[in-house]
């Protein structure tokens, strides 16, 4: 193997890229409808909503923390916005701003518990998940909020308006996802903040000794995680014409799986936005593909668990070989 090939193989994005290409080829051979224009459009519409959460989670996990409350915020923020709008309390635009601000504050509160009280983020955000989900269910009595009258509003068009590229029907949310991926990718790899994020997750004590604002960096990432989860939930509620307080249940684990499959180190210190994008498409296309080829949907978790174990083993093996210079 040449030196160039070794460098490529050692990159965390290599494994997910190979897996994604192989998976697409296999599903296409089993059912050519997998790459039909209609199926691609439908898959992209939902993929980018979870993807927005995964992008923010990548930065947070690179800094060595988790946020298990993202799924509950995905369900809570649309409920808050549509409750304010449907009751005539605020305009849709103001309700949108209040919902995003609330999600950001909730993220900050979680961050304060982690950085000031030194409670593990797993426990803090697990508690926040229960508080936020319980609030959404209490406010709505468990019933979805109506959103079908939003389609004619300019904000709804800006967030999820559809357009066509050739015969492919896409949503504005795809553009928001791509914009977020580019900006956060540059943030992580081309800025001082990105260096701080990786240092905070790699060795917090050494980072503090070098003047890195570890706690401040983590606080901002928790706030970003909350805001992105809330934004994704609002986008989903407009697209599906329903703000369900139970929306997002289980999303936190699926998002973490996307990030880990993409090559971000579970213990922090190393992260990749490109890898996360690959991980996002691997999981969403896997769910779509197994349904198209006739595999029961309940088997999805079996495939995901196997992929996670396999990709973590591959990442570990490639990283060790790179460290050993082989």
Q: Where are the domains of the chain?
A: 3-323
Q: Are 51 and 177 in contact (CB under 8 A)?
A: yes
Rounded Cα distance, 51 and 45, in Å: 11
Model pLDDT for residues 77-128, shown as the tens digit of each residue: 999 999 998 888 998 899 999 999 999 999 999 999 999 999 999 999 999 9
Rounded Cα distance, 299 and 86, in Å: 39
Which pLDDT does position 153 carry in this prediction?
80
Q: Enumerate residues 6+ apart whose C-beta is below 8 A from 9.
A: 1, 318
Rounded Cα distance, 279 and 14, in Å: 11
Which CATH number does the domain 3-323 belong to among 1.10.3470, 1.10.3120, 3.40.50, 1.25.40? 1.10.3470
Which pLDDT does position 308 carry in this prediction?
78
Chain position carrying tokens 């240092």:
199
Rounded Cα distance, 173 and 219, in Å: 26
Neighbours of 257 (CB within 10 A): 20
Beta bridge partners of 163: 170
**CA Rg, the chain, in Å?**
20
Which band of pLDDT confidence, cut at 50, 70 and 90, is reported for residue 5? low
Neighbours of 239 (CB within 10 A): 20
Beta bridge partners of 243: 145
3-state secondary structure of 324: coil
Q: Is the dihedral of CA 16, 20, 26, 31 positive or negative?
A: positive
Q: Are 235 and 74 in contact (CB under 8 A)?
A: no
Which band of pLDDT confidence, cut at 50, 70 and 90, is reported for residue 152? low
Tell me which of 37-41, 64-68, 172-176, 233-237 is least confident: 37-41
Q: Are 226 and 73 in contact (CB under 8 A)?
A: yes
Which pLDDT does position 223 carry in this prediction?
98
Q: Are 82 and 238 in contact (CB under 8 A)?
A: no
Please state the φ and ψ torsions of residue 243, each to the nearest 5 degrees: -110, 90
Rounded Cα distance, 107 and 219, in Å: 8
pLDDT value at 61 more than 60: yes
Q: Are 9 and 312 in contact (CB under 8 A)?
A: no
What distance lies between CA 59 and its chain's CA centroid?
Answer: 10
DSSP 303: H
Q: Are 65 and 290 in contact (CB under 8 A)?
A: no
Rounded Cα distance, 250 and 240, in Å: 18
> Which run of H or E residues covers position 50?
helix 37-62
Neighbours of 142 (CB within 10 A): 11
pLDDT value at 17 more than 70: yes
């Amino acid at each position: 193997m040449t030196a160039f090939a070794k460098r490529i193989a050692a990159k965390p994005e290599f494994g997910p890229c190979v897996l994604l290409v192989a998976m697409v080829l296999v599903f296409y051979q089993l059912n050519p409808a997998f790459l039909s224009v209609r199926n691609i459009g439908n898959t992209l519409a939902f993929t980018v909503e979870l993807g927005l959460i995964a992008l923010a989670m990548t930065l947070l996990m690179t800094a060595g923390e988790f946020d298990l409350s993202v799924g509950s915020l995905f369900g809570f923020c649309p409920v808050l916005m549509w409750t304010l709008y449907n009751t005539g309390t605020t305009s849709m635009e103001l309700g949108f701003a209040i919902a995003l601000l609330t999600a950001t504050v909730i993220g900050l509160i979680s961050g304060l518990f982690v950085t000031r009280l030194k409670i593990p983020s797993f426990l803090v955000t697990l508690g926040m998940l229960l508080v936020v989900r319980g609030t959404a269910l209490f406010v709505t009595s468990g019933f979805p909020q109506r959103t079908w009258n939003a389609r004619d509003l300019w904000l709804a068009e800006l967030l999820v308006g559809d357009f066509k590229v050739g015969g492919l029907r896409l949503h504005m949310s795809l553009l928001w996802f791509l914009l977020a991926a580019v900006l956060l990718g540059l943030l992580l790899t081309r800025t001082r903040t990105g260096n701080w994020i990786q240092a905070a997750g790699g060795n917090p004590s050494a980072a503090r000794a070098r003047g890195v604002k570890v706690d401040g960096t983590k606080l901002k990432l928790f706030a970003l995680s909350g805001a992105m989860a809330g934004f994704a939930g609002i986008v989903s509620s407009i697209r599906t014409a329903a703000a369900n307080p139970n929306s997002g249940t289980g999303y936190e684990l699926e998002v973490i799986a996307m990030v880990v499959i993409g090559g971000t180190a579970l213990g922090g210190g190393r992260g990749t936005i490109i890898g996360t994008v690959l991980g996002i498409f691997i999981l969403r296309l896997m769910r779509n593909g197994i349904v198209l080829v006739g595999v029961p949907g309940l088997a999805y978790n079996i495939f995901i668990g196997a992929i996670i174990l396999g990709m973590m083993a591959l990442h570990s093996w490639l990283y060790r070989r790179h460290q050993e210079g082989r």
